């Protein structure tokens, strides 16, 4: 079992839809990251969370430490949001989820 | 699944010495590898993109003479921190691009190397 589990693995949405990607982890962590990867590109760090909620533009990330769960929400999704989203937990080392491939259709 | 290893996982060195960190893709060939850095309580920062057989592409603000990257084979990239100083203490993470991965050009991350310069 992976230390970090993401769901769904693949997601297709219509432009404008509200999107949620979930991440559960089983290890003790100091922070949780949400990363974005466009095809052929490096990773872009979207959020780093240790508690509560953060918002940046149309992106919102939340974390529940007690439940060891985090969610990434995208409001009013756009085709340029199409990418792989990766949840990564920082403890003694980095534990990465397998990623969620998001495709937003115009 | 695809695995990327890093060595060493932790290193402590004296100021002024150089430290080499290795990043290996264990079961696939990676023409492209990335190096990231994470300062304490901060998010990841992309340092450079390493392409096999050619010079690395450094992000703005990253000193190429300070952080030497060599991608000599399809399974190995090295990052050498030259004349390390305490401010170089950080968590260094590599990732390797797997063109045959589950998604197109899936990227797999190494577990990271924690560097402490005294």
pLDDT at residue A57 above 50?
A: yes
Residues of A in contact with B9 (CB under 8 A): 93
Q: Identify which has the larger pLDDT, B48 or A90.
A: B48
Q: In degrees, to the nearest 5, what angle opens at C-alpha B28 toward C-alphas A11 and B93?
A: 75
Range with lowest mean pLDDT among A1-5, A83-87, B39-43: B39-43
pLDDT at B102: 46
Instruction: Flag whether residue B15 sits within 8 Å of chain A, measured between CB atoms.
Output: no
| Yes or no, beta carbons of B44 and A33 under 8 Å apart | yes
Q: Identify which has the larger pLDDT, A15 or A50.
A: A15
How far CA B56 is from CA of A14, A52, A59, B68, B70, in Å, comes to 38, 38, 32, 9, 8
Please give the structure tokens belonging to residue A31: 């922070």
| Yes or no, beta carbons of A43 and B36 under 8 Å apart | yes
Q: Which residue in chain B has the smallest CA separation from A34?
A: B43
Q: In degrees, to the nearest 5, what angle opens at C-alpha B92 toward C-alphas A39 and B3?
A: 55
pLDDT at A37: 76
pLDDT at A27: 84
Mean pLDDT of the A4-11 span: 92
pLDDT at B105: 46
Of A31, A39, A94, which has the smallest distance from its Cβ to B111's Cβ? A94
The verdict on whether omega for the bond into residue A66 sits within 30 degrees of 0, i.e. cis, is no
pLDDT at residue A41 above 60?
A: no
In this structure, the number of other CB atoms found within 10 A of the CB of residue A53 comes to 12
pLDDT at residue A9 above 60?
A: yes
Q: Identify which has the larger pLDDT, A62 or A37.
A: A62
| Yes or no, beta carbons of A42 and B49 under 8 Å apart | yes
pLDDT at B81: 97
Cα–Cα distance between A34 and B56 in angstroms, integer? Answer: 26
Of A37, A44, A94, which has the smallest distance from its Cβ to B112's Cβ? A94
Chain A, residues 45-84, CB within 8 A of chain B, namely 45, 47-48, 84
Q: Which residue in chain A has the smallest CA separation from B98?
A: A40
| Yes or no, beta carbons of B104 and A39 under 8 Å apart | yes
Ordered per-residue pLDDT tens for chain B, 118 residues: 558 899 998 999 999 999 999 999 998 888 889 898 877 656 567 789 888 888 898 988 899 999 999 998 999 999 999 999 999 999 898 988 766 654 444 567 787 898 999 9
CA nearest neighbour of A72 among A106, A42, A38, A97: A97
Instruction: Flag whether residue B2 sits within 8 Å of chain A, measured between CB atoms.
Output: no
Cα–Cα distance between A34 and A51 in angstroms, integer? Answer: 13
Mean pLDDT of the A50-54 span: 91
């Amino acid at each position: 079992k992976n230390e970090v589990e993401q769901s769904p693995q693949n997601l297709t949405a219509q432009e404008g839809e509200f999107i949620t990607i979930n991440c559960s982890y089983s290890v003790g962590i100091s922070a949780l990251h949400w990363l974005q990867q466009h095809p052929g590109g490096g990773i872009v760090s979207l959020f780093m969370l240790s508690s509560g909620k953060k918002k940046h533009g149309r992106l919102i990330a939340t974390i529940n430490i007690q439940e060891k769960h985090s969610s990434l929400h995208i409001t009013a999704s756009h085709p340029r949001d199409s990418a792989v989203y990766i949840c990564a937990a920082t403890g003694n080392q980095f534990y990465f989820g397998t990623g969620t491939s998001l495709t937003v259709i115009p | 699944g695809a695995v990327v290893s890093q060595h060493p996982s932790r290193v402590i060195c004296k100021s002024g010495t150089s430290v080499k960190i290795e990043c290996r893709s264990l079961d696939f060939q990676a023409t492209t590898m990335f190096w990231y850095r994470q300062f304490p309580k901060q998010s990841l920062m992309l340092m450079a993109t390493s392409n096999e057989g050619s010079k690395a592409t450094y992000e703005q603000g990253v000193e190429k003479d300070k952080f030497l990257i060599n991608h000599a084979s399809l399974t190995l990239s090295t990052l050498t921190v030259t004349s390390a100083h305490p401010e170089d203490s950080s968590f260094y993470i590599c990732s390797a691009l797997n063109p045959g991965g589950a998604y197109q050009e899936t990227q797999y991350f190494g577990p990271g190397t924690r560097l402490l310069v005294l």
